[in-house]
Amino acid sequence: MKRLKHIFTNQHYIYWLFVFMAILPNFIMFFTESTSLLTRIVQIVLPLGFYAFAFTWSRKPGKMFWWLFWFMFVDAFQIVLLWLYGESPIAVDMFLNVITTNPGEATELLANLLVAVVFVISLYGFGIVMSIVSLHSKNVMTDRFRIFQRRWSLPMLLVGLLLLVVNIFTEKGFKVQDDVFPINGTYNAGIAVQRALQQSKYEESSRGFSYHATTKRNDTVPEIYVLVVGETSRADDWSLYGYERNTNPGTSSLDGLVVYRDAITMSNTTHKSVPTLMSSAGCEAYDSLYYRKGIITAYNEAGYKTAFISNQQRNHSFIDAFGSEAQDVQFLKDKVSLMELRGSNYDDELIDCVKKRLDQYDGGKLFIVVHMYGSHFNYKDRYPKEDARFKPDNVISAEKVYRRELINAYDNTVLNTDKVLAAIIRHVESMGVASAVIFTSDHGEDIFDDGRGRFLHASPIPTYYQLRVPLLVWTSQGFAIQHPDAVAQLKAHAHIPVSTNMVVFHTLLDLSGINTPYKRNSLALSNKEFNGHKRLYINDHNEYRPLDDCGLKQLDIDQFKKHNLQFP
């Protein structure tokens, strides 16, 4: 017992414990990252020299533990993300996801990262306990021990700095703030704070914005347009896109439906993708979102009645702001408790909500935006049990060994999305007026599809499965009669490669006959001036990058080729 007490109160042992905890993610990332060997060496030598030297600044390393606590927090966060995604430093979007992901979704995710979460809580929780022991212990690190550690750690720190300089001048594209952990994690946290502050001032910064939108059609002509935004739905699991399972019995039976075969999203995160779908920011600087309003405002200005119906909670994002521009706003989960959010959450409720809004229709022009909960994990909680066509779908744990069950459950969510979407379209069709419905998903999903073992979405580096999404446009018979040229153009462009975040905004305005200086006919699928565009990806720093410069691996490129999709 005395020996055990001696070990746990020995400041020298505590010193090495803290150095190990601080440098652990760097050692893991030496094997996970695809950066150059020199970069990975710098990522170990420089931080190790710094930590080993820094923990000698006080005779009690527990004091330095708290001075360096931010790095311990970042280390713990990084280990969890490496467990989830297998590579990459903590991205800006990861920090923002903490405040923009609803509590139910977050707790479901954490519950399935139990091993990683328990590991970091145990390790770094133990570190907190040992820091308290260190601070209250009468023992201190000896001067001899501290001097010895400085004799090797300071030269290591200097060597690390020298190698860093060499790396900067010899490796093209190398950036300290991007490639060296934990500098990159800290830098990204700073950007996340800056963006959150910018977003908190959105109401003020966008107050004077106007689309100056007008309609070129007679105000007395009745029209209904609907944008349905799906969640986490990848095209590869839709039978409309060649999937062997019939996951689209509802939409496949619709007349007037155009399926866009080569559509991808520009972001694998909801808080970026949905706002760019609902604005013109997809084809301009992303940061224009901070002073620009959404598409609903354009319809308001053009004299439309507008409604926004979401099967999600408000989450302090642009989605909230854009949705709140509507005259009729419904966030169906606003008053739902955390326990209810963690339970069953079906999109079926949206059918009745849209029907009720259409029942109030008294002619004129109407625009509705519907935001689904879609295929967010936990998949099994996204559809009624009686609708489970593909079984077994009881997922014990989010592990590759249960991929069959995960795929079955996921395909059931696609089946449910199809049911809801088809029902919405049929309700719109029953109104007997010129109308159109556009559906797309914010992003796709990884489900242990290849040797990388990737799962979920929003990873710092995207994959093919997260990028390829369904894009559907349905037009009514009345619309086809009144606007045959637009329907012909929709069909003519069905096989052209597109980015959903670029074309949805402009296509909706074009279908609706709305003019605004922000509308581009060259990006409207229904316009004869449509000429395609270079497909881009919005990276973590909100930079628009071509597909061959956003981190996609050969496995992803092979999937593009396999499905006859354009790359880049």
Higher-pLDDT residue of 313 and 58 is: 58
Residues 494 and 491: their CA atoms lie apart, in Å, by 5
pLDDT(106) > 60? no
pLDDT(72) > 60? yes
Residue carrying structure tokens 């800056």? 194
Residues 85 and 82: their CA atoms lie apart, in Å, by 5
pLDDT value at position 185? Answer: 94
Name residue 257's beta-bridge partners: 474
Residues 441 and 421: their CA atoms lie apart, in Å, by 12
pLDDT(480) > 90? yes
Residues 506 and 515: their CA atoms lie apart, in Å, by 10
Pair (182, 297) in one structural domain:
no
Look at residues 198, 216, 237 and tell me which one is the last residue of a structural domain: 198
Residues 121-160 have pLDDT tens digits of 999 999 999 999 999 999 999 999 999 999 999 999 999 9
What is the full DSSP assignment across 423-449? HHHHHHHTT-SEEEEEEEES---EES-
pLDDT value at position 67? Answer: 97
Pair (358, 420) in one structural domain:
yes
Residue 311 structural domain: 227-526
- Give 213's contacts (C-beta < 8 A, 6+ positions apart): 297, 298, 299, 301, 302, 509, 514, 515, 516
Average pLDDT over residues 473-500: 97
pLDDT(103) > 70? no
Residues 297 and 278: their CA atoms lie apart, in Å, by 10
Domain presence at residue 280:
yes
Q: Which amino acid is at 34?
A: S
Pair (182, 63) in one structural domain:
yes
Residues 193-224 have pLDDT tens digits of 999 899 899 999 999 999 999 998 988 889 99
Pair (495, 410) in one structural domain:
yes
DSSP tally for the chain: helices H, then strands E: 23, 15
Q: Give the pLDDT band of residue 62 (cuts 50, 70, 90).
A: very high
pLDDT value at position 117? Answer: 87
Structural tokens at position 283: 């084809």
Q: Give the pLDDT band of residue 105 (cuts 50, 70, 90).
A: low
Domain presence at residue 531:
no
Pair (131, 240) in one structural domain:
no
pLDDT(338) > 60? no
pTM, to two decimals: 0.91
Pair (267, 386) in one structural domain:
yes
User: Do 374 and 232 contact (CB within 8 A), yes or no?
Assistant: yes
Single out the residue of 229, 273, 480 nearest to residue 372, CA to CA: 229
pLDDT value at position 216? Answer: 87
Residues 391-448 have pLDDT tens digits of 999 988 888 999 999 999 999 999 999 999 999 999 999 999 999 999 999 999 999 9
Percentage with pLDDT > 70 across the chain: 95
Higher-pLDDT residue of 282 and 256 is: 256
Structural tokens at position 443: 């992003």
Pair (172, 310) in one structural domain:
no
pLDDT(337) > 70? no
Greatest Cα pair distance, the chain, in angstroms, is 90
CB atoms within 10 A of CB 534: 11
Pair (48, 171) in one structural domain:
yes
Residues 522 and 510: their CA atoms lie apart, in Å, by 11
Percentage with pLDDT > 90 across the chain: 82
pLDDT value at position 219? Answer: 83
- The CATH number of residue 413's host domain is 3.40.720.10
For the chain, the average pLDDT equals 93
Name residue 371's beta-bridge partners: 229, 310
Residues 259-317 have pLDDT tens digits of 999 999 999 999 999 999 999 998 888 989 999 999 999 999 999 999 999 999 888 88
Structural tokens at position 132: 């308290």
**Buried residues in 245-268 as b, exposed as e (16+ CB within 10 A):** eebbebbeebebbbbbbbbbbbbb
Residues 456 and 398: their CA atoms lie apart, in Å, by 10
Structural tokens at position 162: 């020298």
Residues 64/70/75/81 CA torsion (nearest 10 deg): 170
Domain presence at residue 419:
yes
Q: For the chain, report the end-to-end CA distance as a whole number of angstroms.
A: 64
Q: Give the pLDDT band of residue 6 (cuts 50, 70, 90).
A: low
Question: How is the chain split among helix, strand and coil, in percent rounded to 5?
Answer: 55, 10, 35
Residues 364 and 370: their CA atoms lie apart, in Å, by 20
Pair (86, 178) in one structural domain:
yes
Domain presence at residue 210:
no
Name residue 309's beta-bridge partners: 330, 370
Pair (95, 162) in one structural domain:
yes
Tell me the residue length of the chain: 568
pLDDT value at position 107? Answer: 58
**Buried residues in 109-125 as b, exposed as e (16+ CB within 10 A):** beebbeebbeebeebbe
User: Nearest-5° angle of CA 501, CA 505, CA 511?
Assistant: 135
pLDDT value at position 5? Answer: 65
Higher-pLDDT residue of 1 and 23 is: 23
User: Do 382 and 347 contact (CB within 8 A), yes or no?
Assistant: yes
- Give 399's contacts (C-beta < 8 A, 6+ positions apart): none
Domain count for the chain:
2
Domain presence at residue 563:
no
Q: What is the CA radius of gyration of the chain?
A: 26
pLDDT value at position 46? Answer: 97
Cis peptide leading into residue 378 (ω within 30°): yes
Pair (10, 117) in one structural domain:
yes
pLDDT value at position 4? Answer: 65
Cis peptide leading into residue 47 (ω within 30°): no
Pair (114, 168) in one structural domain:
yes
